[in-house]
Chains A and B, each alone.
Chain A
């Protein structure tokens, strides 16, 4: 009996654990809980891209990719548990899609020697590779986003924001507070008046904040929300008849989920976009053939092409390119975590490469380096067309104001280094 039990356990474990030669890239996802609606499409896009590589190309450099999924429910403690539970599988890189989890994992990955990749979220100053050896957040981070939003408003106002009133409506958390310093510094530079309006999580009740918007009549509202906060904010903006074209969300407040519940009222709402949108990219033909039609799509398979699906897919694509680079540098396909980190640091994604992958003009080209883990930080502006139920890009990539951002990144990362007794590298 004992023998049978041991055999059963061994069989179960052999199914659960990836084969030793596989590349293991855990997916710390959230398909349950209050933030599931955002977590599901992202997780599906992430999984499907690796499925595509496995099915079409036989993996990366001939090595199959295993993507063990662990449910975090967007809960920081559960996220850390997921990390601890999966790192022993030979994890090469983590992408937890949560700023809270990212903050907890930074010291852990640095200790364990595993790359943490946080595109468009996480700790902004991790862009400084001299301090944050194991963390990468290219192609853009929160401060880039805030700066791009202000640059766009400058363009809209003939280069002058003096006397304009901008309200920042934000998720009252580490995530939501990220753009404050940037927007304050930019206010000092451009002369606009900044009003801060925090909203407590989850954000189902925002009447106070929107009454304040109605009273103070800001010219623009910049919005840093996530989850139900997004849908409620857009509905409340419609309710008070705030001009939607003057309401700009960060890229985490710009998915179909956020605007559809408000119906026609959401027409004209804008958000930042760090990648293209829609299904007009050649990669989707392969995705349909090798993944969706083959019945291998992640989840219900109904998220393909949505904004957050595209973002998950984009993150997976960057990771796969970093692994490819690591294989090239190491001269072996079976790379380890340290070699993958080197791949991330030496990664260069050109427009030609993006076109080869089937994503022409989808994301900005970038080249990482020892000091630059943050990329160029450019983003576009997309606008919601409620009648057609689609996002349309209304600008090309707008570069952030590095003159303001670089000193902020240097200051914040230096403080982290001093606190954690880290000697800057890359000298």
Chain B
């Protein structure tokens, strides 16, 4: 098999894996948009906040230590414990639920019946607030996130592909784990929304707020529920991306990678977030591989948006988004 074709296959596989990582971020956007029509600008910051909290809890870091030390003249930094990974993840998930309750009580409740742009602006404010809160609570230094996920080349994939093609493909073990987690996450979300009472209520609210309210579904409960789920999805995305680069404030920028995925897959479809991520991942990697060297490289950021825009020309609602017809 020609060498270039083998390389293209390797790039495609890695593109699929990168796409899964983008989808993990996009899923959080979709969940909130689907249930409440809010484009949550703070989704990237939620992932950052969740990852910061996870590392802080895991390492027994004292939140607000810098402030406490400045105010009381103490020198506190750590509780002196190391929490097991699963306990730390569970506690972080609880923190995200608490955050969802606070967001509903302090922000969303006061903005019922406001135009979507107002809600969008509120999430911008929320993003800045959470970024600052994360900084004050846990500090701005880079933190190593170690929840036991494997990283580095998959020896199995390398040796199998080497025996078949005479060239060992590179696949990162972390990407393989991310793919498995994304599949489990989507399956769980689908089962939850199809077969549980709360899931059906969530779908009802997504379809029609007024009708859902008229049959006794609590909009406030649904908002707390959906922000909690989005918080959990953000935690998963934060773990995957934070393992890759360390937990630091640039983690919030992963939202930029999710936007073209949403434009392409549609803002209201969970499968759309996955398929959109895969198309963007493969598209940008193959373009960089084949065309990049001819035009100076670094094409991935803009190519993802260009690809999404091309799709929008033909399907303005995205591949799987709901077609909204508004009559005058």
Contact = CB atoms under 8 A, between A and B. Distances in A.
B216 interface: no
Contact of A260 (B66, B135, B142, B251): B142
Given A211-B11, A240-B170, A231 B140 contact: no
Chain A CB within 10 Å, residue with most, of B18, B132, B250, B296: B250
Q: Which of B7, B284, B300 has the most CB of A within 10 A?
A: B300
Chain A interface size band reads 35 or more
Contacts of A198: 296-298
Contact of A261 (B11, B73, B142): B142
Interface stretch (B33-41, B79-87, B222-230, B285-293): B285-293
Given A34-B249, A211-B170, A231 B142 contact: yes
B140 A31 contact: yes
Given A214-B170, A232-B244, A300-B66, A200 B144 contact: no
Nearest to A306: B141
A240 to B, nearest CB: 6
B253 interface: yes
B59 interface: no
Interface string A9-45: 0000000000000000000000111111100100000
A204 B152 contact: no
A301 B295 CA distance: 46
A228 interface: yes
Contacts of B284: 208
A235 B149 CA distance: 14
B142 A33 contact: no
B246 A260 contact: yes
Contacts of A265: 152
A215 to B, nearest CB: 6
Interface string B72-110: 010000000000000000000000000000000000000
A32 B245 contact: no
Given A32-B249, A208-B11, A261-B246, A37 B152 contact: no
B129 to A, nearest CB: 13
A208 B73 contact: no
Contacts of A208: 11, 14, 284-285, 288-289, 292, 300
A227 B142 CA distance: 10
Interface in B174-219: none
Contact of B172 (A231, A239, A263): A239
Contacts of B285: 207-208
A239 B151 contact: yes
B300 A202 contact: no
A210 B18 CA distance: 13
A198 B296 CA distance: 8
A37 B249 contact: yes
B14 A211 contact: yes
Interface residues of B, number: 46
Contact of B298 (A200, A235, A257, A300): A200
A397 to B, nearest CB: 29
A252 to B, nearest CB: 15
Given A172-B298, A196-B297, A208-B289, A239 B153 contact: yes
Given A37-B249, A228-B250, A215 B298 contact: no
Nearest to A238: B152
A227 B253 CA distance: 12
Nearest to B6: A215
Interface in A319-359: none
Interface in B1-43: 7, 10-11, 14, 17-18, 21
A261 B292 CA distance: 29
Interface string A218-256: 000000000110011001001111000000000000000
A103 to B, nearest CB: 20
A58 interface: no
A199 B245 CA distance: 15
Contacts of A63: none
Contacts of A202: 250, 253
Contacts of A204: 241, 244-245, 250-251, 253-254, 257
B157 to A, nearest CB: 13
B248 A235 contact: no
Interface string A258-273: 0011010100000000
Contacts of A172: 297-298
A385 interface: no
Contact of B144 (A205, A212, A228, A260): A260
A200 B292 contact: no
Contacts of B141: 37, 40, 257
Interface in B244-297: 244-246, 248-254, 257, 284-285, 288-289, 292, 296-297
A399 B292 CA distance: 35
A107 interface: no
Contacts of B249: 32-34, 36-37
Contacts of A31: 140
B212 to A, nearest CB: 38
B89 to A, nearest CB: 19
A379 B71 CA distance: 42
B316 interface: no
Interface in A1-15: none
30 contacts: A33-B249, A34-B248, A34-B250, A36-B135, A36-B248, A172-B298, A199-B298, A200-B300, A200-B301, A202-B253, A204-B245, A204-B257, A205-B18, A205-B21, A207-B172, A208-B285, A208-B300, A211-B7, A211-B170, A212-B289, A214-B170, A228-B248, A232-B244, A238-B151, A239-B151, A241-B153, A257-B142, A261-B245, A263-B144, A300-B139
Given A34-B248, A205-B300, A228-B250, 18 more contacts: A36-B249, A37-B142, A40-B140, A197-B297, A198-B297, A204-B241, A204-B257, A205-B21, A207-B17, A211-B11, A227-B250, A228-B246, A231-B246, A232-B244, A235-B151, A260-B142, A261-B142, A300-B69
Interface of B: 7, 10-11, 14, 17-18, 21, 66, 69, 73, 131-132, 135, 139-142, 144, 146, 151-153, 170, 172, 241, 244-246, 248-254, 257, 284-285, 288-289, 292, 296-298, 300-301
